[in-house]
Amino acid sequence: MSVENPTQAELQTNRLRQAVSLFTLILVGATWPLWNPAATIPDIPWLSFLVDVQPLIDWLLLTLLVATCVLGLIPSLIPRRLRLQRCCYLIALGGLILLDQNRFQAWAWEFLLLTGICLTLTSREAVRTARWLLCGIYFYSAVTKFDHGFLTQIAPEMIEALIPFKPSPLATWPHFLVWLLPLGELAVFLLVVNPRTRRWGLRSSYVMHGMLIYLLGPLRLQHEWGVVLWNTYFLVQNTILLADDKPTSPDAVPASAIPTTKLAAALSAVLMLYPALGWFGYCDPWPAWIVYSRRPVRVIPLVQVEHIQESPDTVQPYVGSPDALSDWAPVNLDAVSFANLHAPLSPAPHYRAALWMSLSSELNAKDVGMDIHLPSSRFTGEHEVQQLRGREACSAWAGKRWANTKPRDTVP
């Protein structure tokens, strides 16, 4: 890279590095308990041999991550330091994620991909490939919202929240308004994917993310800050990535006129096709960009009503009321995560089952259970429920996934 006279693509990757570094610091700070190895929620690493890793390693990786992010804020770096910064960023963030599956947040996955793209490819190829990543996020996020669960449960709440006073007039408007949310996101994808309409895609993305920040932020639905900040990051990222491909000098060749290399084409294809595995259950929801969707397998932890008081203090406030004629009360793990980690809980079902087995370790084996809600029909919302009672049955189901299910001993 030429530091003295950088091309537009080099300027874009520099600014993207700065944005990723800045928002990594902000998002880690906003969800600090998630990254703190002394948090009250157990860490479940991806691989079994990492169970014995001491908290000191977390602190060393956190220190490295902060240092690389501070270095990444520098406007321009010589190539050797730039490669070192990106490599250390991948090692630090990737290492922290390996030590706890719940740290595999959607924003962290995107930041890892963007950093890997910029490390592997030239600046022009990196910008192009990062645009395909952005297109994939919008496409798969939109498609998974064409679902009965989202359209009848989540979307109506968002539509009604658009109006800041009660009763909201939108509550009585035609039900087809709920379709505007997935259709709007799909429209952004169609505008962004076409170079001729990219500038309109940029403007429409401003509207979409601005609306989501308003809806999900403290003014309306009051979701956790991590979700709001990730949408804020998209405003910055899109400004960088969706800028017109203008040459920086009269003799320069526009980036769009340069052929794509085989490596860049292969990476773009993987980024666009890999999330489709989530439709068939071969990819976890967040790497498949499945957000705000009720279609994936859902795990409802259960505890015997008579023994609720024996459950951990972190769980008791979030035990719900049992169904009629039932001796089992549901546990809201999402609320447990928001209260203790300030971050959404990974929707990966087997991880949730493993986490419940860890949180309920002090309860008798016969006093824990789970209801497994299998994927619902996209059109009717109907689904089957698999009932598991007893620790042995629950642990066996959690162990069906390739990832580790045992927690680290880091809780004080």
What's the CA gap between 326 and 305, in Å, rounded?
9
Tell me: do 13 and 140 sit in the same domain: yes
Alpha carbon of 220 to those of 149, 212, 337: distances in Å?
A: 21, 10, 21
Tell me: do 186 and 259 sit in the same domain: yes
Q: What domain range includes position 23?
A: 8-31+105-280
**pLDDT reading at 168 higher than 60:** no
128 and 255 in contact (C-beta within 8 Å)?
A: yes
Tell me: do 268 and 309 sit in the same domain: no
Tell me: do 158 and 305 sit in the same domain: no
Q: Please tell me the predicted confidence (pLDDT) of residue 222.
A: 79
Tell me: do 205 and 302 sit in the same domain: no
123 and 246 in contact (C-beta within 8 Å)?
A: no
Mean pLDDT, the chain, integer: 88
Q: What is the per-residue pLDDT across 262-320, written as a single tens digit (0 to 9) for each?
A: 888 898 898 999 999 988 888 899 999 988 876 678 899 999 999 888 888 899 999 99
Total number of domains constituting the chain: 2
**pLDDT reading at 45 higher than 50:** yes
Q: Please tell me the predicted confidence (pLDDT) of residue 1.
A: 40
Tell me: do 224 and 361 sit in the same domain: no
Question: Cis omega before residue 167 (within 30°)?
Answer: yes
Provide the sign of the torsion angle of the four alpha carbons 94, 97, 98, 99, taken in this order. Answer: positive
Comparing 260 with 404, which gets the higher pLDDT?
Answer: 404
Q: Please tell me the predicted confidence (pLDDT) of residue 357.
A: 95
Other C-beta atoms lying within 10 Å of the C-beta of residue 49? 8
Tell me: do 343 and 221 sit in the same domain: no
Per mean pLDDT, which range of 82-86, 215-219, 408-412 is the poorest? 408-412
Q: What is the identity of the amino acid at 166?
A: K
